[in-house]
Structure 1
Amino acid sequence: MGSHIYVDETKERGFLLVAATLDTSYLTAARATVGRLVFRGQRSIHFCKERDERRRQILRAFRDLPVEIVIYDATAYRNVKRARDACLRGLVSDAAKAAAERLVLDLDESCLGSDRSLLGRELGAVGMAGRLRYDHLDAHADHLLAIPDAVAWSWAKGGQWRAMVRRMIGEVRNV
């Protein structure tokens, strides 16, 4: 079985990239769980805009999902582009080792061209060109992007929020 990796980042206290990996056999159920959390009239969950009690509700639901989270910590970098690139290189390497089928990155138009160039090079370097598909999507296009969004916000916020997601985190990697 393969896996899909959903990716978002935060620049709140330095650059962190969060990768949430789900086995393809769980995608439908996970999308249904996240979809039930989206309010009528809401296109997607955007964690920073939610109230605290709602954040707690969302995190409780996410903790029950069969998701593996890796945080790529590039807070040592002063330059955001270099930090993002370092994180993406690490992500591609890990995705290749895991034989992932797809990367879904939260769409940031300002990074799109640079990401495509870097991902193309890195996928070729690890022998995954044409085998690992990647997409840049808006959060409303795939509700599973809410998972790394929530974890990134919570981890960066620290305190009780970090404690709420700590057990979801498989690893924090300094890049």
Structure 2
Amino acid sequence: MTEELTIELPRQSQLFVDECKAKDYYLAAAIATSASLATVRNELKTGRHKGTDYVHFVRERDAIKDRFISIMRECDLTAIVYVSAAKKHSVAREACLHSMLDDIAAQQIRQLTIESDASIDVADRRIIAKRLQELNYADLRYQHRGKKEEPLLWASDAIAWCYNRGGIWKQKIEPLLLDVRFC
């Protein structure tokens, strides 16, 4: 059992999740309220480089990264980063998903969106269904979506990349972080 999340998330919070697996394994959950979704999505779209369908931090110029981080701050986005040092990515992902689902059940979150990866979506669904059953929590609706479909996934990508990168990039997103959970 993981420690309890010490902060209270706003009512009607939704989580948007992406990963970074460059060093340790990072699962970043960007948090927005249902009431703010349309506004936040529109603002995040203004952070794209002209001619692109989405923001992917690994390939963006520093100026785009800085502008996007500013937009996330202006939108009052927050995030939780789940970290695992397990060498095998499937083990690390499962540990991070478990910790996140424990937080979701404790905070009574009802909506979760995970960036789709066809190679692991089926495993995710199995892990999520089993863990929710163990937690006796049936109120969560979750979905896998493509990065082109959901701008809030760009925010979780940015947070995971910056946290993994460390240094100045990690410092830039630290004001957004509600917690870092080690799984």
TM-score, length of structure 2 as denominator length? 0.90
Amino acid at match of 1:142: E
**Structure holding more helix per residue:** 1
Per-residue deviation, residues 77-109 of structure 1 (Å, max 9, x unmatched): 111111000000011111111111211001111
Q: d(CA) in 1 for partners of 2:110 and 2:16?
A: 11
Q: Which runs of 5+ in 2 are unaligned?
A: 1-10
1:132 pairs with 2:140: yes
* 1:91 counterpart residue number: 100
1:20 pairs with 2:30: yes
Q: In structure 1, the residue corresponding to 2:14 is in which secondary structure?
A: strand
Amino acid at match of 2:14: H
Q: In structure 2, the residue corresponding to 1:139 is in which secondary structure?
A: coil
Offset at residue 40 of structure 1 (A): 4.4
Match of 1:160 among 155, 168, 175: 168
Q: Is the 8 A contact 1:4 1:21 kept in 2?
A: yes
Q: Give aligned pairs, total.
A: 173
Offset at residue 74 of structure 1 (A): 0.2
1:146 pairs with 2:157: no
TM-score, length of structure 1 as denominator length? 0.94
Offset at residue 68 of structure 1 (A): 2.2
Match of 2:115 among 82, 85, 106: 106
Q: How big is the alpha-carbon RMSD for the aligned residues of Structure 1 and Structure 2? A: 1.2
Q: In structure 1, the residue corresponding to 2:51 is in which secondary structure?
A: coil
* 2:83 counterpart residue number: 73
Q: d(CA) in 1 for partners of 2:91 and 2:83?
A: 12
Offset at residue 20 of structure 1 (A): 1.1
Q: Which one is further off, 36-45 or 61-70?
A: 36-45
Judging changes above 3 Å, is the alpha-carbon distance between structure 1 residues 143 and 49 closer, same or farther for their aligned structure 2 residues? same
State percent identity of aligned pairs. Answer: 27
Amino acid at match of 1:31: R
Q: Which runs of 5+ in 1 are unaligned?
A: none
Q: Is the 8 A contact 1:6 1:103 kept in 2?
A: yes
